[in-house]
Structure 1
C-alpha cells in the first residue's frame, strides 16, 4: 500500500480544499521550455526533458536524497 494521491484527493473537484487552475503564464518568453511544459502538464502530457535551456527535471526516488538535492539546487545553482 502506497501513500496514495493525497494532494490530488484534497484538491479534486468537490474536495475539502478549494483550488483554482492557473491558465495565464506571466514573465516567461513565448518559446520558453517552462511555458511549453506548463501547457503539456495541464493537458495531461509528460513534460519534455531534453533540449530545453530553461527547464530542468530532477528525479529522485529516495526522500532523503530528494531533500539534499532540493537544498543543493536552491542554495548553489
Structure 2
C-alpha cells in the first residue's frame, strides 16, 4: 500500500491501551513499542507502525496474547 506523502519514514505513531499489567513475556512480544503503566490497571504501549499491514499484524499479536485493547489512537506527528 502506498504511503501518504506526509508519513515519515519511521511510520505513524500509535498508542494502544490494554487492560491490566503486562507480564515481561507480553512486553517482549512488542519490542518496537514503548510501555507505560497507568495507575488504574491499564498499560499503554506506543510507538511507530510502518503501514496498515504492520498495524493489522500488531492487532493480531494483541489478540493472540489474549490482551484486551480498550483504546487505540493515532498520535500526532
Both structures adopt the same fold (TM-score exceeding 0.5): no
Higher share of residues assigned strand: 2
- TM-score, with normalisation over the residues of structure 1? 0.29
Which one has more relative contact order, counting CA pairs under 8 Å at least 6 apart? 2
